[in-house]
Amino acid sequence: MITQPITTLLFDFDGTLLDTNELIIQTFLSVLGKRYPGRFTREDVLHFIGPSLKQTFDNIDEGLTEELIQEYRAWNIEMHDQMAVEFDGVSETLRLLKARGVKLAIVSTKKHDIICRGLKLMGIEDVFEVVIALDDVVNPKPDPEPILLALDRLNAKPEEALMIGDNSHDIEGGQNAFVRTAGVSWTVKGEAYLATFKPNYMLQHISELLEIVEAPSV
């Protein structure tokens, strides 16, 4: 069946455009290591990448959630610029997509100020028309709310959009919003894991988006 061409790209941020994986892992290990010595391993905290901090810390100790979030953000902000780095080809590809008139947005479970810090670090503050952060919604991904909000602000339709991300929440969120989805093979959780959520595409490099938006999908 022929579907409408993709004219709108919605990106997760951390782990998709900016490699903050090690930063996130070390932040969790530092914060949780102080509270619960020896309880959490590197393998454990991999499962915390993707959900919001509230979702993660609620599952660990709901009574300490806000305190743990504050400790997490303090450590993460201090180390952010030293440990975060752009994935290969991201800035170049995004600028080419923008030049072609593709609508671009970020849909993230991070707070707005952290996303803006990452965009500044990458030198792409001017690329995205819309940034939807945790601050903007009541229900983060995989709820469709943030994706639908991004589409509304872009004046775009779900059938024209593609949600791109490195985590199950991105794929499930896209599916819940009835948009097509793309996983990224550079996900820290492994391509095979992300493939189990059945995204429409699995990107091996971000530049593949230049081909995906050129023609209708079949």
Task: Quickly list DSSP for 28-77.
Answer: HHHHHHHHSTTT--HHHHHTTSSS-HHHHHHHHHGGGHHHHHHHHHHHHH
Q: What is the pLDDT of residue 218?
A: 40
Residue 65 counted as domain residue: yes
Q: What is the pLDDT of residue 141?
A: 94
Residue 2 counted as domain residue: no
| Together in a domain, 51 and 78 | yes
Q: What is the pLDDT of residue 50?
A: 78
Indicate the helix (H) or strand (E) that contains 117.
Answer: helix 112-122
Q: Residues for the chain: how many in total? A: 218
Residue 218 counted as domain residue: no
| Together in a domain, 197 and 180 | yes
Residue 27 counted as domain residue: yes
Give the structural domain span for 203: 8-19+86-212
Q: What is the pLDDT of residue 216?
A: 47
| Together in a domain, 194 and 132 | yes
| Together in a domain, 121 and 13 | yes
CATH number of the domain to which 57 belongs: 1.10.150
Per-residue confidence in pLDDT tens, the chain, 218 aa: 457 899 999 999 999 999 999 999 999 999 999 999 999 999 999 889 878 899 999 999 999 999 999 999 999 999 999 999 999 999 999 999 999 999 999 999 989 999 999 999 999 999 999 999 999 999 999 999 999 999 999 999 999 999 999 999 999 999 999 999 999 999 998 999 999 999 999 999 999 999 999 654 44
Total domain count, the chain: 2
Instruction: Write out the catalytic residue numbers.
Output: 12
Is the CB of residue 51 less than 8 Å from the CB of residue 169?
A: yes
